[in-house]
Structure 1
Amino acid sequence: MASLKILDSSGKQKGEVAVNDALSTVSKLSVIHRAVVAEQANRRQGTQKVKTRAEVSGGGRKPYRQKKTGRARQGSIRAPHYAHGGVVFAPQPRSYEKKVNRKERRLAIQSAFAAKLNDDAIVVVDKISFSEPKTKSAVELLSKVGAADAKRILVILPAYDEVAFRSFRNLPNVEVRTAPAAVKDGDDPVKTQGFSARDLMVAHKIVIAEDALKAIQEVWA
């Protein structure tokens, strides 16, 4: 069982927290790949539309006679090789939706978390809160816990905090998510998650509140 150091807001070690084996062992990278590809595909609108030669206006009449002109035979001025002609195999509106099984999504998040844990990319802070929404306060916190220099940072809060969200909002390299909600009887953990496998994988540093880590272990471990 792995463990993580718990830092206070000044960057000093306050203690340690154990991480369950399910969140500290990378099971399958292929499952992470499928989950990330599916999420990115599901974000696509699929509204692309280009006209084929059947849909372009005009071109119904043969431009000139078949023979005795000395020119190559043509059947329409809207053929694909003409300027303003239709497009061959033109992109049409479609759905890019990909489905991932519930167990695979769960395994993907567990494996993604374990991968970041093994890369020493996870920082646990005892509390992430601010008295007032200030970007300066957010930058100071990230700097003291050693995450300010990361290219992409994921901050995970135990619950929605308007002040914290507004404090991090102006930082272009920081994404803020909430921990998955505590699972009640009959709830689907996949639907109560606050972040995805992609959120974990694209982050170079993950800053987690201690209470958020407890919720993550309760739901996903």
Structure 2
Amino acid sequence: MVNCVVKNWQGEHSGETTLEMPIAKVENAEHIVHRALVRQLHNQRQGTASTKTRAEVRGGGRKPWRQKGTGRARAGSIRSPLWRGGGVIFGPKPKDYNLKMNRKERRLALRTAFISRVEDLIVVENFADQLSAPKTKEVVAALTRWGVTSEQKVLLIVTDISSDNLYLSVRNLPNVKLLKHDCLNIYDILYADKIVATSEAITKIQEVYCGE
């Protein structure tokens, strides 16, 4: 169990919340998190790259010139891989890169990764009502008050992203990614320098990802 300080919109301490999640054993933690990360990156690949072999390229049915007597190298087709416009040797073909991983393992890996970032976790009160209009400047100022610098990559976790004010205020910030509590993934958790989550999101995360 980890106790986290909750900050308000002004960056002041306003309370505490607890974060308690079952995680992988120390000797297995790195391995299972790595497997989950590799799976996510592989499953993002479309696998649609494709080239044509000499059998699939149009043309080349006629022998360019006779076998002997011309002084040139023998050639049987203008679509040879040695020719410009010819087929491709060992080129890519459509492939399924998807990797499978059990649901329980995926959740265990995500919980383990999230707990490993506790030192970089900043818990704040729900601040959606603080934005009466889309104001990127106000979000930047709030992040600064919470201890986040402009160069750091931030993962912002909330329970509701339907608010236009919050979405429009964040979307122009290149280093800030907004996620809903039930859309967490290994890559974003590990990639961010700082993780900012509302106290409601922390509660929801434990409800969603701790159940089997």
- The residue aligned with 1:128 is 127
Cα distance in structure 1, aligned partners of 2:150 and 2:186: 22
TM-score for the superposition, normalised by structure 2: 0.89
Q: 2:197 aligns with which of 204, 208, 214?
A: 208
Q: Matches of 2:89 and 2:5 in 1, distance apart?
A: 59
1:25–1:114: 8 Å Cα contact kept in structure 2? Answer: no
Q: 2:25, 2:9 → 1: CA distance?
A: 28
Report the Cα distance in structure 2 between the residues aligned to 1:157 and 1:167, rounded to whole angstroms. Answer: 14
- Tell me the residue number matched to 1:28: 29
Q: Which amino acid aligns with 1:16?
A: E
For the structure 1 residues 103 and 24, does the alpha-carbon distance in structure 2 shift closer, same or farther, using more than 3 Å as the test? closer
State the Cα distance separating 1:175 from its structure 2 match.
Answer: 0.7
Contact conserved, 2:21 with 2:206, CA < 8 A, in 1?
no
For 1:22, what is the secondary structure of its paired residue? coil
Partners of 1:157 and 1:25 in 2: how far apart?
28
Decide whether the 8 Å contact of 2:126 with 2:199 is kept in 1.
Answer: yes
Partner of 1:145: 146
Between the aligned partners of 2:121 and 2:142, the Cα distance in structure 1 is 15
SS across alignment from 1:77: coil
Consecutive unaligned residues of structure 2, counting only runs of 5 or more, are none
Superposition pairs of residues 89-128 of structure 1, within 5 angstroms: 89-117=90-118, 120-128=119-127
Quick one: which amino acid aligns to residue 51 of structure 2?
V
Instruction: For residue 151 of structure 1, give the secondary structure of its aligned residue in structure 2.
Output: coil
1:165-184 equivalence runs, <5 A: 165-180=167-182
Give the deviation of 1:36 after TM superposition.
1.8
Structure with the bigger percentage of helix: 2
Q: Which amino acid aligns with 1:128?
A: F
Aligned sequence identity (%): 42
1:8-55 deviation digits (Å, cap 9, x = unpaired): 111112222222152697651222222222222222222222111111
Name the residue aligned to 1:3: 3
Give the Cα–Cα distance (whole angstroms) in 2 for the partners of residues 45 and 156 of structure 1.
27
- What TM-score results when the alignment is normalised by the length of structure 1? 0.85
- Give, in whole Å, the separation in 2 of the partners of 1:150 and 1:109: 25
Task: Say whether the 8 Å CA contact 2:55–2:87 is kept in structure 1.
Answer: yes
Distance in 2 (alpha carbons) for counterparts of 1:30 and 1:10: 40
Residue 155 of structure 2 corresponds to residue 154 of structure 1: yes
Q: Which deviates more from structure 2 when the two are superposed, residues 150-159 or residues 105-114?
A: 150-159
2:136–2:172: 8 Å Cα contact kept in structure 1?
A: yes
SS of equivalent to 1:138: helix
Bigger drift between 21-30 and 161-170 goes to 21-30
Which amino acid is 2:98 matched to? E
**Worse overlay, 48-57 or 38-47:** 38-47
Alignment root-mean-square deviation, CA: 1.9
Partner amino acid, structure 2, of 1:134 = K
Instruction: Name the aligned partner's letter for residue 123 of structure 1.
Output: I
Indicate yes or no: 2:58 matched with 1:57: yes
Q: State which drifts further: 41-50 or 108-117.
A: 41-50
Q: Which runs of 4+ in 1 moved over 4 A?
A: 23-27
What is the identity, as a one-letter code, of the residue corresponding to 1:15?
Answer: G
Provide the C-alpha distance between the structure 2 equivalents of 1:149 and 1:204, rounded to a whole number of angstroms. 11
Q: Which residue of 2 aligns with 1:18?
A: 18
